[in-house]
Structure 1
Amino acid sequence: MKNPQRYTEKLQWYKMYYRDPVMKQCVDKYEVRKYVEDCGLGSILNECYGVYNSPDEIDFLNLPDSFVLKDTLGGGGNSVILVPDKSKLNIEQVKQQMAQWVAESTSVKHPGREWVYDGMPHRIIAEKFISSNPETGGLIDYKLFCFGGRVACLYVMGNRENGLKVGIYDRDFRKLDAYISYDEKMETEAKKPENFEEMCEIAEKLSAKFPHARIDLFDQNGVITFGEITFFSGSGYTLFNPDEFDFQLGDFFQLPQNTKA
């Protein structure tokens, strides 16, 4: 660690700042929709079919032929059930899985370095299934890291169904010589989306209130769809190769000049 004292200052200030109730709203995959609407970006929200406290509340007959089920407090691609064809769905098995998400004995999210989840209930949200072609990378996920309301870099993620591949790019969409050590490195160059600048504008608008936020967006056939907002990418435990990239990310995070530990 290059500067332990500065790291401690950042950590203490981060904990204090992130008691903001808007942050608690934004980490909930249903409640965040209101925040996106308040930012004037309701048009990028994925279609929502319902939010439920229990799997027993879900009327599967009234859901469309394809959909996605998520834990409203899930993260890291976990607690997500993709249903491309409802006719092949084992409903009872899926209900048992979702019951684990919301069960009182298991629903306490491991805090890690994420302090904003305290006291929040796990629920289930059903959303539209966005079709994609696995042969062309599947549904590409653009995770834009914003600091002080500006995009600094982004992850480009694809091929979730066939093993996650990740590339790290700078603000000008140039591939960086860095990668997440525990994910498969994206060897090929990702194609820059034609509406990349619009994606950056959206990310910067959604992140403007926060010193740091990662804004996740999908771009399918030129249509931008909101994914989520996270303030603790990888719960703060992501390992990079080279390690120096971790410090580069940290340097983007600026504390107010009058901060006192």
Structure 2
Amino acid sequence: MNYTFFKKNISIIKKFIPDTLFLRLQYKYHLGESLNLVNPKTFNEKIQWLKLYDRNEEYINLVDKYSVRKYISKTIGENYLIPLLGIYESVDEINWDDLPNKFVLKCTHGSSSNIICKNKSELNIKESKKLLQNWMKKNWFWYGREWPYKMVKPRIICEKYMVDESKNELKDYKFFCFNGEPKIIQVDYNRYSGHKRNLYDINWSYIDASIGVPSDSNVMIKRPEKLDEMLKLAKILAKNYPHVRVDFYFSNNEIFFGEMTLYHGSGFEIFKPESLGGKMGGWINLNRKKENV
């Protein structure tokens, strides 16, 4: 298989390839290795296995950025939700004049489909509409075969714009949970100006490793004042699932829920060192799930 040809023509051929074959091809392309689904061991291999065989209907609401708000309100409380400014079925429903000077628009049915507005007078609304319209037409299922996204209704939400102590960005605290237990915390920062990710254990000790995006040992991120509360909340939200990543923000000394991610990096990110991917894979217990396959 010519993988360069595969990538260039994926928009045409992706819908005609069975899920298992598609994931094998993508795995080989991104990671340069053959995918072992018979006896998966690494984190990335087990993520592919979960895509194919873990079909919990609850996942559809978890990945929907609007529907998940109801789950958060019920399980940990609506006080952890970022204030919602609007919900739209289409781009045409957005009344841009009514939006505040700062806001965030997000498509509810995918990832990396956000418009962050820090100053509405400088926002190119025409270009923003075009981006949103293109995103609303996409079904993210076809890009990584993350099956819950196939059933998510495309919508747009508008949330309050927030920053952390830097006054310039909002660091993303991502808790990798396994059978309900947080094990590793990934902090994303400088996302739009030299994106980095630092890794920490639950005691906030720096882990000299990276997942997909480089880390920087010279940047020592301060332990969040409410880290223990974040860990407690992550446990509550993750308790029913073999693996999920629970994300939080910390702004004005308050915790806000970000999202729940079932398939980090779609299972195609490079671990450095590789041993970290093996270690994290060992934390995902598929035995109970395999009994139902």
**TM-score over 0.5 (shorter chain):** yes
The aligned residue for residue 59 of structure 2 is 23
Indicate conservation of the 8 Å contact 2:175/2:184, yes or no.
yes
State the distance in 2 between where 1:101 and 1:259 align. Answer: 35
The offset of 1:12, in angstroms, is 5.0
Greater mean alpha carbon deviation, residues 251-260 or residues 28-37: 251-260
Spell out the pairing of 1:57-136 with structure 2 (5 A cutoff): 57-75=93-111, 78-103=112-137, 106-107=138-139, 109-132=141-164
Cα displacement string for residues 51-72 of structure 1 (whole angstroms, at most 9, x for unaligned residues): 2121100011221111001111
SS at match of 1:122: coil
- Displacement of 1:184: 2.9
CA distance in 1, matches of 2:74, 2:246: 16
* 1:184 aligned onto 2:214: yes
Q: Between Structure 1 and Structure 2, which shows a larger proportion of helix residues?
A: 2
Conservation of the 8 A alpha-carbon contact between 2:106 and 2:115: yes
1:223 partnered with 2:223:
no
C-alpha distance in structure 2 between counterparts of 1:133 and 1:219, whole Å:
9
Is 2:225–2:253's contact at 8 Å kept on the other side of the alignment? yes
Whether 2:89 is the aligned partner of 1:53: answer yes
Q: Could you tell me which amino acid in structure 2 is paired with residue 7 of structure 1?
A: P
After TM superposition, give the deviation of residue 119 of structure 1 in Å: 3.0
Shift of 1:22: 1.5
Aligned to 2:278: 247
Cα shift readout 1:102-142 (whole Å, capped 9, x = no counterpart): 12xx44543414121123232211100003465x8831110
2:238 counterpart residue number: 207
Structure 1 residue 87 displacement after superposition: 1.8
Identity score, percent: 35
Selected match of 1:42 from 78, 96, 115: 78
State how far apart, in whole Å, the 2-side matches of 1:16 and 1:3 are.
14
SS in 2 for 1:204: helix
How far has the Cα of 1:200 moved from its partner? 0.5
The answer to whether structure 1 residue 5 and structure 2 residue 38 are counterparts is: yes
The partner residue of 1:165 within 166, 173, 196 is: 196
SS of 1:131's equivalent in the other structure is: coil
Q: CA deviation at 1:96?
A: 1.2
1:100/1:107 contact within 8 Å kept: no
Distance 1:258 1:39 in 2: 24
Q: Decide whether the 8 Å contact of 1:113 with 1:236 is kept in 2.
A: no
How many residue pairs were aligned? Answer: 254
**Mapped partners of 1:66, 1:258: distance in 2:** 44
The residue type equivalent to 1:183 in the other structure is: V
* Alpha-carbon displacement from aligned partner over 1:8-45 (angstroms, at most 9, x marks no partner): 9955566333x222210010111100110110321110
Give the direction of change, closer, same or farther, for the CA distance of 1:254–1:86 in structure 2 (3 Å limit): same
Change in Cα spacing, 1:3 to 1:96, as seen in structure 2 (3 Å) is: closer
DSSP 3-state at the match of 1:116: helix
Q: Tell me, yes or no, if the aligned pair for 2:104 and 2:116 is still in contact at 8 Å.
A: yes
Looking at structure 2, the residues matched to 74 and 133 of structure 1 have their Cα atoms a distance apart, in angstroms, of 28
Contact in 2 for aligned 1:68/1:128 (Cα 8 Å): yes
How far off is 1:258 after superposition? Answer: 8.1
Runs of 4+ in 1 over 4 A off after TM superposition: 1-4, 8-14
Compute the TM-score of the two structures, normalised by the length of structure 1: 0.89
Please list every run of 5 or more consecutive structure 1 residues that lacks an aligned counterpart in the other structure. Answer: none
Unpaired stretches in structure 2, ≥5 consecutive residues: 1-33
SS where residue 109 of structure 2 aligns? coil
What letter matches 1:43 in structure 2? N
Which has the larger displacement, 142-151 or 188-197? Answer: 188-197
- State the TM-score, normalized to the length of structure 2: 0.79
Per-residue deviation, 1:208: 1.1
1:74 Cα deviation after fit: 2.4
